[in-house]
Amino acid sequence: MRKIANAALRFAGFSPWARYCSLLLAGALAGLGQAPQDYWYLTIIALAGLLAAHPQSARVGALQVWVFGLGYFAVALRWIVEPFLVDAAATGWMAPFAIVLMAAGAALFWALFAYLAARVAPGSRIALALAIVWAELARALVLTGFPWALLGHIWVPTPLAQLAALGGPHLLTLFTLVSAWALCALFGPARIAGGAILIALLGLGVWAVPPPAVPALPDAPIVRLVQPNAPQDQKWDPAHREIYLNRMITMTGQGARPDLVVWPETAVPYLLNHVQGDLALMADAARGAPLVFGIQRRDENLRYFNSLIVMGPGGLLRSTYDKRHLVPFGEYIPGGDLLGRLGIHGLATSDGAGFAAGTTSPRVSLPGIGDAIPLICYEGIFAEEIGGAGARPRLLMLITNDAWFGRGAGPYQHLAQARLRAIEQGLPMVRVANTGVSAMIDAYGRIMDALPLNTQGALDVALPPARAVTPYARYGDRMLMAILAVLTLCCIVVARRDSD
């Protein structure tokens, strides 16, 4: 650790190219704190180095933060290239541009807030730390948001993840930057404060250890997770899609009848408008149990939706949920509907260019179990959009097709975020993925049982109980934003006092 501190002190003597290459490498190491590596301590150490190297100049400081962020996001978001490699001959050439542009764009949030912090409090490391927290909050909200690989996600496999029940993922991000600042402070004049904070954080980690998992109640509903393991390049292929549909029907009908059967996103590879015969076969296989499945549908206005259906006995469609938060450029073209009204066609959802955002209720009723909050793939990464008014639901239910993410970091990072959603809401989550990882997650974010990645199978698991409503489920990000605002105000006051 002392070698790292000494290296940070010598950093100012590096040539500009050596300095920026070191920052890029440090950012890349920080990215390894995300799943599946989960080297959270590398993220803390790398961020401490970034804070230690913070200069007085706002422009130089912003550039340093941007280079560090470029390395971080290039590693943490490396799975972004996978969708372009599904049809490598046609779209593979886009993959390098996608990862560079995504990493550079995400790092711009950090750089902008670092610049503002340096203008208010030149050279202040705590101001930079708080600025990065604000940047991560902005990244989750601006331009429909993209809160993937938040710095707070490094804590998911640790007891500190339980603090998300108090303040969500951004409270964990604040803890990440405070830890980095405290580590940096150990080797400066504020070493006593830094040491005290690190001890306090260690104590919080011990305090946050969740209680042992309890056995399922005898009357707990049994949920069957059905994972067909359909590769993305075969999922919609007419020569293969019936194979995977029949596979799910077979696995649904095997063994004792569960209380609920859940299939993944777009499990049925046809429009809902044209599958009456298949629905009857699916209902027969479910044997009276409610069957949840993903499918696409078209309405009377020729708009397409990515939907979740709850089907009862006899093929009766009991509930329909249409995905509300769509992937920009992946599921729709931003501004396409406006351009369509202006006479520029081919980009609007009504022209078939992507999906329309759903307006259906963000709740579905599961007979014999209770209400569930449905989430389709991308929606599972937005903590602030889950929950809301109304009676407390029984569970979260996420269906996804992670085949797009390949076999590397993407599926595991998506799973980690699902665990965090369960902690935040204090609700168990049923997560079913096309190629995995399908899992039953309890209200403390623990995986009770799972089907591994790229594995075909069906898993019967008892639904864990819900916890009491959490502060985050009740108040959302308001508590965190209040804490962050107070800390920022104190930082500004101290900086101005010192400058007088």
Residues 173 and 254 in one domain: no
Contacts of 194-203 with CB under 8 Å at 24 or more apart are 201/160, 201/175
Does residue 351 carry a pLDDT above 70? no
CA distance 441 to 388: 21
The CATH number linked to 278 is 3.60.110.10
168-182, 203-217, 367-381, 429-443: lowest mean pLDDT where? Answer: 203-217
**Would you say residue 64 lies in a domain?**
yes
CA distance 435 to 244: 11
The one catalytic residue among 82, 184, 235, 323:
323
Average pLDDT over residues 181-209: 90
Q: Is the dihedral of CA 250, 255, 259, 263 positive or negative?
A: negative
End-to-end Cα separation, the chain, in angstroms: 36
**Would you say residue 85 lies in a domain?**
yes
Residues 397 and 488 in one domain: no
Residues 430 and 295 in one domain: yes
In sequence order, the β-bridge partners of residue 293 are 309
Number of other CB atoms surrounding residue 10 within 10 Å = 8
Which of 412, 422, 446, 466 has its CA nearest to residue 159?
446
**Would you say residue 455 lies in a domain?**
yes
Q: What is the pTM of this model?
A: 0.93
251-273 pLDDT, tens digit per residue, is 999 999 999 999 999 999 999 99
The residues near 289 (Cβ < 8 Å, ≥ 6 apart) are 224, 257, 258, 259, 260, 261
Residues 386 and 492 in one domain: no
Average pLDDT over residues 326-355: 67
Share of the chain above pLDDT 70, in %: 93
Residue given tokens 């101005």 in the structure block: 496
Residues 17 and 123 in one domain: yes
Cβ–Cβ under 8 Å, residues 294 and 308: yes
41-54 pLDDT, tens digit per residue, is 999 999 999 999 98
Structure token pair of residue 395: 């569970």
Residues 207 and 319 in one domain: no
Question: DSSP letters along 414-473, please?
Answer: HHHHHHHHHHHHT--EEEEESSS-EEEE-TTS-EEEEEPTT--EEEEEEPPPP-SPPHHH
Rg (CA), the chain: 24
pLDDT score recorded for residue 406: 85
**Would you say residue 93 lies in a domain?**
yes
Which of 326, 260, 265, 193 has its CA nearest to residue 459?
260
CA distance 172 to 160: 8
Residues 174 and 239 in one domain: no
The per-residue pLDDT of the chain, averaged, comes to 91
- CB-based burial, 399-418: b 16+ in 10 Å, e otherwise: bbbbbbbbeebbbbbbbbbb
Examine the residue annotation and report whether 265 is marked as an active-site residue of this protein: yes
Question: DSSP letters along 283-337, please?
Answer: HHHHTTS-EEEEEEEE-TTS-EEEEEEEE-GGG-EEEEEE--SPPBTTTB-TTHH
Question: DSSP letters along 81-102, please?
Answer: GHHHHTTHHHHGGGHHHHHHHH
**Would you say residue 350 lies in a domain?**
no
Q: How far is CA 98 from CA 70, 77, 378, 393, in A?
A: 13, 10, 18, 38
pLDDT score recorded for residue 346: 44
Cβ–Cβ under 8 Å, residues 434 and 235: yes
Residues 164 and 50 in one domain: yes
The one catalytic residue among 377, 379, 424, 491:
377
The one catalytic residue among 82, 136, 265, 424:
265
Residues 292 and 381 in one domain: yes
Residues 235 and 205 in one domain: no
Structure token pair of residue 467: 């916890």
Number of other CB atoms surrounding residue 345 within 10 Å = 12
Q: Domain tally for the chain?
A: 2
pLDDT score recorded for residue 206: 87
Question: DSSP letters along 353-371, please?
Answer: SBPPPP-S-S-EEETTTEE
What domain range includes position 448?
Answer: 222-324+359-464
**Would you say residue 344 lies in a domain?**
no
Average pLDDT over residues 22-35: 97
**Would you say residue 13 lies in a domain?**
yes
Does residue 480 carry a pLDDT above 90? yes
Question: DSSP letters along 380-425, please?
Answer: GG-GGGS--SSSPPSEEEEEE-GGGGTTTHHHHHHHHHHHHHHHHH
**Would you say residue 150 lies in a domain?**
yes
Residues 198 and 64 in one domain: yes
Residues 457 and 493 in one domain: no
Residue given tokens 């919609």 in the structure block: 236
